[in-house]
Amino acid sequence: MVTIRDVARQAGVSPSTVSRALTVPDKVEQGTRERILALADQLGYRPNRAARGLITGRTGNLGLLVPDLANPFFPGLVKGIQARALESDYQLFVVDTGENAAIEPELVRQLAKQVDGLLLCSPRMRPAELREAIDLVPTVLVNRALPKASSVTFRNVDGAIALVAHLAGLGHRSLGFLAGPASSWSGAQRRRGLRAACLQQGLELHELGSVAPTFDGGQSAADEVLSAPVTAVIAYNDLVAIGLGQALAERSVDVPGRLSIVGFDDIPMAGMIRPSLTTVANPVAEAGREAVDLLLSQLNDPSIGVRQVRVPTSLQVRGSTGPAVARTEDGMSS
């Protein structure tokens, strides 16, 4: 096994200089540091994580809290975060809260003791609870924003506006919105964008209530959707949209012939179903990398202030949207 002394011998420096180059690189002259790092890589030297922790006071771990790994939106985000963490020589601890906001604060407290920094993805906590969590350890929010807190979010409002413009261009004048959890920050942003866009376009927006952010949640809303005077439905996320589409297919309702459906997120399944789903794409892998970079910059330089990164979205037009069809008073196509 290659040791720190082997690297020092090859580099012509002391073991303590090698240690500083690996743990506090700013303390070592650039040329020397680069030579040490190149030799360490060439020799295959891997620092002892426990020993390094004693020197730096760091664990070499990052924590990630997510609400539901069964939701296809989150695995892509986790993969982006994990890849960037590993590139930066950090291990990642992942905790799934099961969409249970009540247990989030305690899970954060437990996780904070084992990591150098936290990434809280779509946390459902109230703002006051979130503030307490942020005070425990350096933290970056993902898919949630809070004043005076570093975050990486998607341009949900822009995505909602693009969806409305697309539907308006197809002749839809009366839209339905099927919301998700009341505690969802991104859901509130989408609702805000839809309201503003519909007002600007002169369209009616019927808010059809909230459902679980799942396939089953979408299925449960079919009767309410069919009874509403709308020609298109915007779902909280793709899972809800796909569940709704399945329930409509079981009732022999033609999509998009009788009703257009759109979602948010662009999960892999969105392009696999028939008809394929029109949706707003969130570049989750990019957001994950941005979040890790933001967190590590705070760990390396605590004087860095709050930064809030907003990642652009894009509209993916597919087969689930089509020209509006007039509806009769009983909700049937005319």
278-281 and 314-316 beta bridge pairing: antiparallel
Q: What is the pLDDT of residue 276?
A: 97
Q: What does the alpha-carbon distance between residue 222 and residue 243 come to, in Å, rounded to a whole number?
A: 9
Q: Please count the helices (runs of H) and the strands (runs of E) in the chain.
A: 13, 12
User: Hey, which bits of 98-203 come out as E strands?
Assistant: 117-121, 139-142, 151-154, 174-179
Q: What does the alpha-carbon distance between residue 143 and residue 225 come to, in Å, rounded to a whole number?
A: 28
What are the phi and psi torsion angles at 328 (to 5°)? -85, 175
Tell me: domain 156-282, CATH 3.40.50.2300, correct? yes
In terms of CATH architecture, what is 4-56? Orthogonal Bundle (1.10)
Mind listing the pLDDT tens digit for each residue in 274-289? 999 999 999 999 999 9
Residue of 250, 183, 247 lying closest to 213 (CA atoms): 183
Give the residue carrying structure tokens 């209530």.
Answer: 209
Q: Per the structure block, which two tokens stand in for 108?
A: 């954060």
Q: Per the structure block, which two tokens stand in for 314?
A: 């894009």
Residues 6+ apart with CB under 8 A from 5: 15
Residue 49: pLDDT band (50, 70, 90) is low
**pTM of the predicted model, to two decimals?**
0.78
Residue 94, pLDDT > 80, answer yes
Mean pLDDT lowest among 98-102, 123-127, 287-291, 301-305: 301-305
Residue of 35, 134, 88, 94 lying closest to 300 (CA atoms): 88
Q: What does the alpha-carbon distance between residue 141 and residue 308 come to, in Å, rounded to a whole number?
A: 9
Intrachain domains 4-56 and 61-154+285-312 with the same fold: no
Side-by-side strand order, sheet with 174-179: 204-210, 174-179, 232-235, 260-265, 278-281, 314-316
Residues 6+ apart with CB under 8 A from 80: 284, 285, 286, 287, 288, 289
What are the phi and psi torsion angles at 19 (to 5°)? -60, -45
Mind listing the pLDDT tens digit for each residue in 7-40? 889 889 988 888 778 776 777 888 888 888 888 8
Residue 258, pLDDT > 50, answer yes
Mean pLDDT lowest among 43-47, 136-140, 154-158, 169-173: 43-47
Residue spans of the domains in the chain: they are 4-56, 61-154+285-312, 156-282
For the domain made up of 61-154+285-312, give the CATH fold. Rossmann fold (3.40.50)
Mean pLDDT computed over 243-263 = 97
Question: Helix (H, G, I), strand (E, B), or coil: what is residue 222?
Answer: helix
Q: What is the pLDDT of residue 63?
A: 95
Give the residue carrying structure tokens 């939106």.
Answer: 73
Do the beta carbons of residue 289 and residue 88 sit within 8 Å?
no
